[in-house]
Copies of this chain bind each other. A is one copy, B any other.
């Protein structure tokens, strides 16, 4: 093990929306902190696994030319980026945490060791098997899929749900949750390999949006009774085509917008079909997992997922990368759609 505290530092905002590994630098100039470094209340954590997530793309995009109070957050240049991660407490000056405790943080720095405050940490049950499951099958992406499919989607058996990026971290869970509730599931993905995987998860029909030709015709064929729930992870053209095929009282889950996160504002393809859904009384619900942590919904999620995992009804494909040195490429792969399953960096 290195004697320095390896960090993934943001070197420059992605020019022209292209997030190459060169946007980052691996920095080994800092020593590993020790308990003498800790202030009262602080906790030293050895980081073990990091969640690589689509919303980070926005944080690495060039800031707007005219920033406002409401401008979206950007990572500061020259500092370690951060996200969802898990680790083990190695030293603590906080009564709520002791060495050996397993913890999760929503603001875990991408470095070997991190000093964190109490409000940045959630203690995980000691009984758990793999710590990395908390950025995997029980992690944010799966919770997001639950919130979108169950809480916002309000699914009824026999309805049709369409899920974009259905082989992704969120999508694969949404497919299986919906199948477990008795829905007809239409998946969407951009490669034959992914399409096959989505079929193996139980989807009733899968569209390869890159090869299907006329997208609208493909949706009509895959969802002949119309769409009752559309779970959107991509935005853009696919969202617009889905809107045209919604049933009255349909629910649209706005969960992500992979197709636009990296694009310059002027190049984003706008959504034109909102007017057509007004008389259908559609509800569009934006989903963000963070405020739901610690609520009854998280308890329900963990119960349903544990049950489905035990029954063998929940596969969760992980695309695991080893070492912080692999992190810049992992981010670039995610943003280019080259991952296959939930991307995790094991530190």
Residues of A within 8 A of B (CB): 55, 58, 68, 70, 72, 216, 220, 226, 235, 239-240, 244-245, 254-257, 260-261, 265, 268-272, 274-288, 290-291
Contacts of A278 in B (CB 8 A): 55, 254-257, 286-288
Q: How far is the CB of A133 from chain B (nearest CB, A)?
A: 25
Q: Find out whether the CB atom of B245 lies under 8 angstroms from the CB atom of A70.
A: yes
Contacts of A270 in B (CB 8 A): 240, 268-272
Count of identical protomers in the assembly = 2
Contacts of A70 in B (CB 8 A): 226, 244-245
Return the chain B residue nearest A261 by Cβ: B275
Q: Find out whether the CB atom of A286 lies under 8 angstroms from the CB atom of B277.
A: yes
Contacts of A287 in B (CB 8 A): 278, 281
Q: Find out whether the CB atom of A285 lies under 8 angstroms from the CB atom of B283.
A: yes
Return the chain B residue nearest A68 by Cβ: B220
Q: Find out whether the CB atom of A288 lies under 8 angstroms from the CB atom of B281.
A: yes
Q: How far is the CB of A145 from chain B (nearest CB, A)?
A: 15
Q: Which residue, of A72, A240, A268, A275, has the highest number of chain B Cβ atoms within 10 A? A: A275
Q: Find out whether the CB atom of B274 lies under 8 angstroms from the CB atom of A257.
A: yes
Q: Which of B216, B240, B271, B281 contacts A291 (CB 8 A)?
A: B281
Known A-B contacts A272-B265, A274-B235; the reply to A286 vs B281 at CB < 8 A is yes
Instruction: Provide 27 A-B residue pairs closer than 8 Å at the C-beta atoms, listed in order of the A residue.
Output: A55-B279, A58-B275, A68-B216, A68-B220, A70-B226, A72-B276, A239-B274, A254-B277, A255-B278, A256-B278, A257-B278, A260-B275, A265-B272, A268-B270, A270-B270, A270-B271, A271-B272, A271-B274, A277-B286, A278-B288, A279-B288, A279-B290, A281-B291, A282-B286, A283-B283, A283-B286, A284-B284
Q: How far is the CB of A298 from chain B (nearest CB, A)?
A: 15
Contacts of A58 in B (CB 8 A): 275
Q: Find out whether the CB atom of B254 lies under 8 angstroms from the CB atom of A274.
A: yes
Contacts of A272 in B (CB 8 A): 260, 265, 268, 270-271
Bound complex: CA A285 to CA B280 (Å): 10
Q: Which residue, of A68, A254, A256, A277, has the highest number of chain B Cβ atoms within 10 A? A: A254
Q: Find out whether the CB atom of B235 lies under 8 angstroms from the CB atom of A275.
A: yes
Contacts of A275 in B (CB 8 A): 58, 235, 257, 260-261
Return the chain B residue nearest A147 by Cβ: B281
Closest 7 CB pairs of A and B: A270-B270, A257-B275, A284-B284, A271-B271, A268-B272, A278-B286, A279-B288
Q: How far is the CB of A16 from chain B (nearest CB, A)?
A: 17
Q: Which residue, of A68, A260, A265, A274, has the highest number of chain B Cβ atoms within 10 A? A: A274
Q: Find out whether the CB atom of A283 lies under 8 angstroms from the CB atom of B281.
A: no
Return the chain B residue nearest A285 by Cβ: B283
Q: How far is the CB of A220 from chain B (nearest CB, A)?
A: 7
Bound complex: CA A239 to CA B274 (Å): 11
Contacts of A226 in B (CB 8 A): 70
Q: How far is the CB of A168 from chain B (nearest CB, A)?
A: 15
Q: How far is the CB of A65 from chain B (nearest CB, A)?
A: 12
